[in-house]
């Protein structure tokens, strides 16, 4: 199972919106609704930000939203804030009953 | 409160095995899947596998099949991950992490991580 494909980096200014893509195959993202996104700050454990493509866990701001089209999922962060800076990883369930992460995207808030 | 507490850092020689433990508190171990995820220095997250602590059933990433074993001891609310045939490429922080109650596919609580260093 190959890692899902994410851009290595994205950037945006405070207040702007950014979107991070995550591309897989019909055996993972395209085949299931079980797509999630994690945020990780340096030296910290990851934090779940979205699950089931677009659902937010309790406590996650509605500035984070998600979508999926075909084999590609997307994470959008609106009203960018300095605290959003960090690494973002997508994750999907697969046809092998396993999970797979994306390679990660470094978000820089300019 | 929910906590997942891992064993301490390990230094191993190439070819050796390592066994990392993960003690759950604040919830019932058998009610939630336990995942294992690793992160090499400066690299991304890599899912290794998960165990259903109730049944003992496991799912492993293909990359680790034959080299990883996930077990649990429900009497002490502890899960284990053993990785054999270590090489320098296995140097990483290893996380155990609790799967969500509904599907078990999302990770809602993470351990603090265990650094495993493989060096001759």
pLDDT > 90? residue B101:
no
Q: Which of B61, B110, B112 minimises the CB distance to A46?
A: B110
Residue A84, H or E segment: none
Average pLDDT over all residues of chain B = 96
Indicate the SS3 state at residue B108: strand
pLDDT (tens digit, 9 = 90+) per residue, A51-66? 999 999 999 999 999 9
Query: Chain B contact for A34, CB < 8 A?
Result: yes
> Token pair for residue B80?
């284990």
Query: Chain B contact for A32, CB < 8 A?
Result: no
CB < 8 Å to B46, chain A = 3, 101
Specify the pairing of strand B10-12 against strand B114-118. parallel
Specify the pairing of strand A105-109 against strand A9-12. parallel
CB–CB contact A46 B44 (8 Å) = no
The sign of the torsion formed by the CA atoms of B87, B116, B46, B30 equals positive
CB–CB contact A96 B62 (8 Å) = yes
Per-residue pLDDT, averaged over A62-80, amounts to 98
Q: Which of A34, A98, A104 minimises the CB distance to B61?
A: A98
Quote the pLDDT of residue B82. Answer: 98
CB–CB contact B47 A40 (8 Å) = no
């Amino acid at each position: 199972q190959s890692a899902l494909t994410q851009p290595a980096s994205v950037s945006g200014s405070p207040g702007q919106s950014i979107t991070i893509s995550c591309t897989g195959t019909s055996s993972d993202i395209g085949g299931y609704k079980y797509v999630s996104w994690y945020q990780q700050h340096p030296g910290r454990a990851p934090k779940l930000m979205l699950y089931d493509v677009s659902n937010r866990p309790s406590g996650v701001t509605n500035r984070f939203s998600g979508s999926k089209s075909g084999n590609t999922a997307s994470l959008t962060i609106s009203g960018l804030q300095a605290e959003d800076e960090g690494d973002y990883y997508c994750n999907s369930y697969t046809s092998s009953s396993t999970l797979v992460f994306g390679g990660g995207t470094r978000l820089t808030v300019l | 409160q929910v906590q997942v507490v891992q064993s301490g850092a390990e230094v191993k020689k190439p070819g050796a095995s390592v066994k990392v433990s993960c003690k759950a508190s604040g919830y019932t171990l058998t009610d939630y899947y336990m995942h294992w995820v690793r992160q090499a220095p400066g690299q991304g997250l890599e899912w290794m596998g998960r165990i259903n602590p109730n049944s003992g059933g496991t799912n492993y990433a293909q990359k680790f099949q034959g080299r990883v074993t996930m077990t649990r001891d429900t009497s002490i609310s502890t899960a284990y991950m053993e990785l054999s045939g270590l090489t320098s490429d296995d140097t990483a922080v290893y996380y155990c992490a609790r799967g969500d109650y509904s599907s078990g596919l999302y990770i809602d609580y993470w351990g603090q991580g265990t650094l495993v260093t493989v060096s001759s």
